[in-house]
Structure 1
Amino acid sequence: MVKVLTSNDFIDNVENTKGVVVVDFSATWCGPCKMLGPVFEGVSNKLGDKAKFFKVDIDESGNIAQKYRISAVPTMIIFKDGVPVENLAGFMPEQNITNKVNAHL
């Protein structure tokens, strides 16, 4: 299950979390983001407890988007032990995202 994070939740759920966390930076007005939504949810369901999956709306939490230099959406960032280890820009098929996440588990 993918949870939407606000600026207040981000530090606790991403930066201060051990293990792998994947964050989808998106916007409600973004067509490719809407296409990625169900795919991202599918990867989350497939990997279960192996990694945590969150969404951040760049319009609602602009400070986080700015901190991680999000210049285009959708952008996914894979964090390991609170540190960004890989950026994935644009729409990607479920298997590609799964492979990228598995590489960091």
Structure 2
Amino acid sequence: MDELESIRQKRMQELQHSLEQKQYPSSTVTISDALFDEFVSKYPLVLVDCWAPWCGPCRMLSPILDELATEMQGKVVFGKLNVDDEKMTAVKFGITSIPAMLIFKDGKFVDQLIGAVPKQNIIQKLQSYM
């Protein structure tokens, strides 16, 4: 009976972990000023990419963030905020240069990365908050 209970508990943990991961988006999420606070508070660790369609470095960074959203699903959620369309949030966080990546832990702003930084630098920065 103990072995059966052990198997049952292990399976329950696996199912719970699987359910938790499914609740995390596996791709970047487009966010707006209106939903910004709700989005960054919904997940334990969030990276918000502040970008604009005309920005070359922003377009270079976009596929990297898409990859990271898939690779880090269940650990980090990635959002995209178009600063041309969503000016209030850009002003609130003093965004004067893009791409700018804002990092939030438990709904609070904790760090940022400016510029089209390499994928490994983004991973290292995020790992320091896991």
Look up the match of 2:87.
Answer: 62
**Structure showing greater Rg:** 2
Identity level (%): 35
CA distance in structure 2 between the partners assigned to 1:5 and 1:94 by the alignment: 22
Look up the match of 2:103.
Answer: 78
Choose between structure 1 and 2: higher strand proportion. 1
Cα distance, 1:44 vs structure 2: 1.3
Contact 1:42/1:94, CA 8 A, preserved across alignment:
no
- For residue 21 of structure 1, the aligned residue among 36, 42, 46 is 46
- Secondary structure (helix, strand or coil) at the match of 2:36 reads helix
Unaligned runs of at least 5 residues, structure 1? none
Look up the match of 1:42.
Answer: 67
Alpha-carbon RMSD: 0.9
Unaligned runs of at least 5 residues, structure 2? 1-26
Contact 1:3/1:55, CA 8 A, preserved across alignment:
yes
By relative contact order (CA 8 Å, sep 6+), the higher-ranking structure is 1
How many residues get paired? 104
